[in-house]
Each structure stands twice: as structure tokens, then as C-alpha cells.
Structure 1
Amino acid sequence: MAHWDTDFGAEGGLFRRLRAAAGEDWAGYTWHPFVRQLSAGSLPLPAFRHYLIQDYLFLIHFARAKALAVVKGESLQAMRDKAAAVLAILDETKLHLKYCAGWGLSEGDVVATPESAETVSYTRWVIDRGLHGDILDLEIALAPCTVGYGEVALRVLADPARQAEGNAYQSWIDTYADDGYQAMARAAAARIDALGVSHGGDARFGRLAADFAEAARLEQRFWQQGLDFAARGGSSVSGG
């Protein structure tokens, strides 16, 4: 692949150390076959539609995890920031439903679909880490999603095999390549660095690294479910 920017987090900071420790788990997430097929414009439509539905269901629990971050917040400012993030994600669910409609998925179709096993396992794991740990544990569980999608977009843009013209999935790519999203991803990585300093990241690195890698593996499975659905001949809007 062509060069792509990986400057999320500070040199020597906790985020970059966690990313490096995750190794192949991180690479397997950010350059999964699902992502490569998005880049090439060759992803089967049923795979993408299945992903869109489960991503909506994921967002609901992502908002709940952010609400838990209000409770776990280390300062009043952090609580305010996380409360704003909850409202932003709830607004995003409305936008996501509009986006789904553009792919032939009505709101009724989406909300009537049950959560897949992959969605359940990922979202409940994140909330469990937050319930049983502190704000750093919770943010470590959340960061691979936020920062990882920013990296995915950069990798796609640098992909020499990318279908730059007429790619049906360009709107999705544009969402995460957007400067606003990229700034949010960098802010999330910087927060991990800051919490690593204030909450003893060095002393806890082994456990934090294990959690970060597990989140990357759960993200891999979240991508994979769409490919598996298409391979089974799935074409309905239900998650079957």
C-alpha cells in the first residue's frame, strides 16, 4: 500500500504503545477483507446491508457505554464532555437510519432485526469492562472503535487498489475520512494518552493491552459477520 498516516496519539504515549502491542489483531481489524472489499467497491451488497443494521444496533449500546463514562468520569469537565457525546451518538442514530434508507432499509426493517451474536458479544463486553473497571478501562474498550475507523479511512484512501470512481461505498468512506471525524479520532487517542498518565497506565499496561487487543478482535468479528451473511446467501434485511 501507499503511505498512510498513523499519527494517532503521541510518540511514546499509551495509545501508540497499545496499538503496537496489538500487532496482528489491530492490522486484522483495520485492514480486514470487509474493509479491503469496501475499498475496491467489490463488497457484496447483502454484506454491507447486514453491517449497516448491526451498526445501528451497536450505536445504541455505544451510547449506553458513553453514559457509563459520565458516571466514571474523572472530573466535572470529563462528565460534561461525555454527556455531550451521549447526545451526539443519539442524534447519530437518526442520521444512521436515514443513511440506511438510502440502501433500501426502512426504519421498521432495521429496528425489527435482532442483534447478532457478534453485536451482543462486543457491546456487552465494552459495558462489562466499564462496570468492573475505571474510566481508563472503559475508554480503552471504546477507543479501538473510534480511532480504528479513522485509521481504516486513511488506509482506504492510500490503497492503490481502491476504486476511486464509481465506488458504491464512497459515501461511507467519506464519512470517516472527513476532517471532523479524523479530529475526533485523534482526540480519542490523545485522551487515552492523558488517562494513561493520570491513571497509572504503565503499571496496568499488561491488562490494558489485553483489553485493547480483545476489542480489535471483536471489531474483526463485527466486520466478518457481514461477509458470513453474504456467503450464506443472505439477502433479507433480517440478521438471519
Structure 2
Amino acid sequence: MSSAELRRRAGDVWGRILAHPFVVELYGGSLPLEKFRYYLLQDYNYLVNFAKALSLAAAKAPDVSLMKTALELAYGTVTGEMANYERLLAEVGLTLRDAEAAEPNRVNKAYMSYLKSVCALEDFYSCMAAVLTCFWSYLEIAEAHREKLEGNPVAVYRRWASVYLSPEYRALVERLKAVLDRSGRHPDELWPYFREASLYELEFWQAAYEGH
């Protein structure tokens, strides 16, 4: 299975993601709220461009079913995920206008540019390998730190994380993994995109923790 092999190869980077202080402190409830506020502003901007990348991928889809998958993901990002972020922003004293006005940091800009360029210039499955890392790593983070979340005293952190522990979110990740597993593509072909996106995920957490 292509997805399982990609995850195995990325074990070192993903281990660092799972153990990152931003993640550990967020799930445990000790993360300073200001760091979370900064993360939300950055991630909102990321999601806007993530949806654009998925829309580009839809145009590259080899059949209607896969085009539908990419478009559904893009639509879900700009409706469900962004609506959830609007609620989260309000909970921490921010507005949608604040998010739209926030300047993406260096890592955010580079990551967004990378995803859009892959989805515009490479084939559909290369794009899916790149975007899968975001969806899948958030699921693994949530599962790895589930026990910490149960005792988390910060309500907004619990609500943020609960999305990634839902059956619906797990089903979404499994659907994307299946796309790669049925692609007929060798892991060697997909690995460069999965690896690069994994490194960007790690850097995104670090930038959020440092606040720049």
C-alpha cells in the first residue's frame, strides 16, 4: 500500500511532529493562549490557499470520481472548516477580518506556494500525496494525545481538537489514503511530495510556537 509505505518512510519527521512542544502543550492545556491565537490566524490563511490547491488538483483528476473527491475537499475546507475557524476566532477574541488581514509568516508562504505549485504543475496523485500529509498528521496527533485532551482545562483547545477525533474526520483521511493506494503509483514516485509536505508541517508548528 502506497500510503502505509509513505508513512513508514516519514517516521522520523512525524515523530518530531507528534512530540512538538506546540502540540504537546496544546493538548495538555498549558499552551499560552497567545500562541494559539497566532496559530489560528496563520492556519486560516493556510486553509484559503489549501482550498485553492485542491481546486487545481480537481482539474488534473484522471476521472470524474477523483475530480469529485478533490472538489468536495475544497468545498469542505471553505465551508465547514472555515466556519469552525470563525467560531474559534471569536472564542479567543479575534474576528474574520483579523484573520484576513494577518500576514502569513515565511513558512506559511513557502508551504502554500509549494502545495499550489505541485497541484498546478504535477499530476493529480503527486498533489494528493502532498495534501494527505496535513489531513493525516492531524489525525495522528489527535490520536496520540487523546488522553491528555481528556484532562485539558482549556475549553477552546478541547473544541479545536475534537474535530480531529471525530469518525467523520477519520473517514476523510481513510478516503484520501485509499486514493493513493488504488492509484497504481509506486511509493518512490510519491515520496518526494509526501516528504516535503511533512517537513513543512513540522516547520509550520515550529513557526507557530515561535510566533514568526
Report the TM-score range of the alignment, normalised by the length of the smaller protein: over 0.9
What's the offset of the Cα at 1:163? 5.7
Instruction: Please tell me whether Structure 1 or Structure 2 has the larger radius of gyration of its CA atoms.
Output: 1
Query: What corresponds to 1:228 in structure 2?
Result: 210
Residues 197-225 of structure 1: per-residue CA shift (max 9 Å, x gap) = 2xxx22xx334222212111100111111
1:55 correspondence with 2:37 = no
1:164 correspondence with 2:143 = no
Query: What corresponds to 1:151 in structure 2?
Result: 140
Q: 1:163 to 1:77 in 2, by over 3 A?
A: closer
What's the offset of the Cα at 1:131? 2.1
What's the offset of the Cα at 1:157? 0.9
Give the conservation status (yes or no) of the 8 Å contact 1:29–1:217: no
Higher helix share: 2
What's the offset of the Cα at 1:187? 1.3
Query: What corresponds to 1:74 in structure 2?
Result: 62
1:124 correspondence with 2:113 = yes
Aligned partner of 1:217 among 181, 189, 199: 199
Q: 1:191 to 1:158 in 2, by over 3 A?
A: farther
Residues 143-177 of structure 1: per-residue CA shift (max 9 Å, x gap) = 00011111111011145xx5625234111121111
Structure 1: which 5+ runs fail to align?
1-12, 230-239
Structure 2: which 5+ runs fail to align?
none
- Matched residues in 1 for 2:27 and 2:84: separation? 23
- Matched residues in 2 for 1:81 and 1:212: separation? 19
Identity of aligned residues (%): 28
- Matched residues in 2 for 1:165 and 1:55: separation? 22
What's the offset of the Cα at 1:97? 1.6
Residues 53-112 of structure 1: per-residue CA shift (max 9 Å, x gap) = 111001111110110111011101221232222222111323312221111111221111
Give the conservation status (yes or no) of the 8 Å contact 1:31–1:155: no
- Matched residues in 1 for 2:131 and 2:145: separation? 22
Query: What corresponds to 2:78 in structure 1?
Result: 90
- Matched residues in 1 for 2:105 and 2:154: separation? 27
Query: What corresponds to 1:34 in structure 2?
Result: 22
- Matched residues in 2 for 1:118 and 1:212: separation? 17
Query: What corresponds to 1:22 in structure 2?
Result: 10
- Give every structure 1 segment of 4 or more consecutive aligned residues whose post-TM-superposition deviation is greater than 6 Å: none
**TM-score, with normalisation over the residues of structure 2?**
0.92
Give the conservation status (yes or no) of the 8 Å contact 2:130–2:194: yes
1:193 correspondence with 2:181 = yes
> Aligned letter for 1:176?
Y
Number of aligned residues: 210
> Aligned letter for 2:165?
A
Query: RMSD across aligned C-alpha pairs, in angstroms?
Result: 1.6
Report the more deviating stretch, 112-121 or 205-214: 205-214
- Matched residues in 1 for 2:188 and 2:70: separation? 26
